[in-house]
Structure 1
Amino acid sequence: MATLSVPPVLSSPRDDAMQLFRAFKGLGTDTSAVINILAHRDAAQRSLIQHEYRTLYSEDLFKRLSSELTGSLETAVLFWMHDLPGRDAIIVRQALMINTMNLEAATEVICSRTPSQIQVFKQHYHAKFGIHLERDIESCASGDHKKLLLAYASMPRYEGREVDREMVVKDAKALYKAGEKKWGTDEKTFIHIFSERSAAHLAAVDSAYHDMYGNSLKKVIKKETSGHFEHALKTILLCSENPANYFAKVLHKAMKGMGTNDTALIRVIVTRTEIDMHYIKAEYLKKYKKTLNDAVHSETSGHYRAFLLALLGPNH
């Protein structure tokens, strides 16, 4: 469930474009006006505003926003202006660029998306950058992490809720044999099962594994693997069971300790606002006994804080 709040009576995209133009005029930008409009429009409306802005002023709204805003606010607003698959493509592309490499971010986006979301964002990736996602993974990732990402990004998986109980038990046994039971780890088996099975099936395998061997797959992954490969397996597993819980953890980690990881904070809030932020907020409160809004409020400031809180909706 999304947290985006769109006014019941909307001004037209043309009016929005004109208001934005007024907000940019003169000395300094009326940043509050920019936030009040853009943080309360869905992807389709944002696209229409951009179209109207170009028609009216022969100028690209992206470029204008980029020149008017700065810092974390600029990053967040520019990401927000894209539609969902286009945004995923840009985040992953940036994360796989040599000079800004962030394999954790690329892994998070690829391994937390559904097969149909991956297919669409791969098309956007190729259309935007003229290169296939797999080619970039090839050149940036390595070892078992690379094998898993390539398999996960290209395998069509069933997205329904039904599972084959026999297959579940078979997979639990195979993972036990490939991990806890043997000296060393058979990574191939983990890659095969984690990249080819549906989310519902993997969640059932985790439950069966626990019943059969008294251990959770998360603990097994932690013990048997490491680094980016471990992160990818954990992301796939946790998102198969409860994506909202997974993202609540990512947000908490981004705000924990000294300093804030604004890249992660922006990435999760902006990409999940129109999908399941309502559930993420509920998980966050349950897990950390603090509302996500309060956590974001204490870790951010100014217009940047105002924009993120506008996306998060009411504080509960």
Structure 2
Amino acid sequence: MSYPGYPPSGGYPAFPGYPPTGQESVYPPAGQYPYPAAPGGYPPAAPPAAGYPAAYPAPGGYPGATQAAGMPPYPGAPAGSGFGVPPAGPAFGGYPQPPAQSYAGGGPAQIPGYPGGQAPSPMPGPPAAMVQSTQGTIRAAPNFDAGRDAEILRKAMKGFGTDEQAIIDVVANRSNDQRQQIKAAFKTMYGKDLIKDLKSELSGNVEELILALFMPSTYYDAWSLRHAMKGAGTQEKVLIEILCTRTNQEIREIVTCYKAEFGRDIEEDIRADTSGHFERLLVSMCQGNRDENQTVDYQKAQEDAQRLYQAGEGKLGTDESCFNMVLASRSFPQLKATVEAYSRVANRDLLSSIDREFSGNVERGLKTILQCALNRPAFFAERLYHSMKGAGTDDSTLIRIIVSRSEIDLVQIKQMFTQLYQKPLAAMISSDTSGDYRRLLLAIVGQ
């Protein structure tokens, strides 16, 4: 596998970064709870559920730590059905809990902890009307002409000075695939490497951002992982952010690209740079073997919840391998059902149990997996918020997430950002960045 112009001579600026892809529905992924789809994903945008965070998420939960109350009843729910009534026990992970349901009739044996004492049979995914499709802020430009765009970029860099706005207008309004075509056309037309020319004309954060935009998505992931482990020290948050959020196909492509481009085995690099239960979690993630069946098996969710409780809260010490097995292998819809079952079994949400039983990077990795199962756009919205919160800006994280989600679900991430922090993502970017860097970020994000 080769990518034109990668890696260019001289290398890239040393910024810790990454990205992902994958078309995944936002919460609720399995549709078993009767809430109509809301534009901002879960929870419904209006009226907000009581207990949903109005600003910065509390440290004990994600993203918030209070139980929702008074969830609106589902239109048309039969009287006494329990639809719209929050179940007893703490809210899982700080998200408002889905309503309790009654399961009448025969079926499975009585199981303690389930509403009505019965576990429902496995159910298929949601009807099409209830699925919230993901959407990026950048889409392929219509009437695309790679040669014309290459000419625009050449003129923007030719002679004295650089027309940064012309460069921004092109790169922020083309898909990644179209940028690869522009790069190839530039070399064909002018016999020069576009990436080298851009590096010679730009500097700082805007250079880092534009180079990231011109990297093929899979290469950007692989490159980011390599630089997170290269040299002294390891950027564990980058490893978690990529390996714990990608689809099976994306991970397998990253592993293949990593080997082809850097001549190294990613699993061996992980083993050399990490250790213990964190190492084992990342190695599990590298296999790209998570179950992708979208059907939720509630019986298995109950069994997994019991297993996790007995491996943690229900015993002295922690059986880390049990947590690794469940969180690394179950589908995201199945994990969401397990989180819900756990709150009934343990009278505590699973994220807070992981807080109590684990620490450090393995804790962050396990929580990232669960947060993506509950609400992936909210997870990335939280990461963006923390990249800009307080003094200074974590520009590499900001760039990495904006670029990597720009064609996947940045629209939903923006909606969740506003819902969680009561301010638009674009407003926070405007107040935290400046110059051409700010203009390019805002062009990608959209107002």
Q: TM-score range by the shorter chain?
A: over 0.9
Q: Distance in 2 between matches of 1:239 and 1:67?
A: 39
| 1:230 CA drift (Å) | 0.7
TM-score norm. by structure 1 comes to: 0.96
| 1:101 CA drift (Å) | 2.9
Counterpart selection for 1:140 from 269, 273, 294: 273
Q: Distance in 2 between matches of 1:108 and 1:303?
A: 27
Amino acid at match of 2:358: T
The question of 1:4 aligning with 2:134 is answered no
Q: Gapped runs of 5+ residues in structure 1?
A: none
Local SS of the residue matching 2:306: helix
Q: Distance in 2 between matches of 1:108 and 1:309?
A: 23
In the other structure, the counterpart of 2:247 is 114
The question of 1:52 aligning with 2:155 is answered no
TM-score norm. by structure 2 comes to: 0.68
Amino acid at match of 2:240: T
**Same amino acid, percent of matched pairs:** 38
Q: Distance in 1 between matches of 2:409 and 2:282?
A: 24
1:93-150 CA-to-partner distances (Å, cap 9, x unmatched) read 1111124631111111110111111111211111111112111111111111100000
The question of 1:169 aligning with 2:293 is answered no
With over 3 angstroms needed to count, the CA separation of the structure-2 counterparts of 1:100 and 1:44, relative to structure 1, is farther
What does 1:68-83 align with in structure 2 at a 5 Å threshold?
68-83=201-216
- The answer (yes or no) to whether the contact 1:98–1:140 under 8 Å persists in 2 is no
Local SS of the residue matching 1:26: coil
Q: Distance in 2 between matches of 1:189 and 1:167?
A: 14
What does 1:1-316 align with in structure 2 at a 5 Å threshold?
1-4=135-138, 7-10=141-144, 12-99=145-232, 101-313=234-446, 315=447
Count of residue correspondences = 313
Amino acid at match of 1:32: Q
With over 3 angstroms needed to count, the CA separation of the structure-2 counterparts of 1:213 and 1:100, relative to structure 1, is closer
| 1:80 CA drift (Å) | 0.9
Q: Distance in 1 between matches of 2:404 and 2:156?
A: 26
Local SS of the residue matching 1:98: coil
Local SS of the residue matching 2:299: helix
| 1:83 CA drift (Å) | 2.2
- The answer (yes or no) to whether the contact 2:309–2:345 under 8 Å persists in 1 is no
CA RMSD of aligned residues (A): 1.3
- The answer (yes or no) to whether the contact 1:94–1:100 under 8 Å persists in 2 is no
Amino acid at match of 2:200: S
- The answer (yes or no) to whether the contact 1:155–1:195 under 8 Å persists in 2 is no
- The answer (yes or no) to whether the contact 1:145–1:228 under 8 Å persists in 2 is yes
Amino acid at match of 1:116: Q
Q: Distance in 2 between matches of 1:162 and 1:261?
A: 38
- The answer (yes or no) to whether the contact 2:213–2:403 under 8 Å persists in 1 is yes
Higher RCO (C-alpha under 8 Å, 6+ residues apart):
2
Q: Distance in 1 between matches of 2:233 and 2:174?
A: 30
Q: Distance in 2 between matches of 1:160 and 1:280?
A: 25
| Greater mean deviation of Cα atoms: 155-164 or 63-72 | 155-164
Q: Distance in 1 between matches of 2:357 and 2:325?
A: 16
Q: Distance in 1 between matches of 2:189 and 2:396?
A: 33
With over 3 angstroms needed to count, the CA separation of the structure-2 counterparts of 1:100 and 1:48, relative to structure 1, is farther
Amino acid at match of 1:139: A
- The answer (yes or no) to whether the contact 2:139–2:407 under 8 Å persists in 1 is no
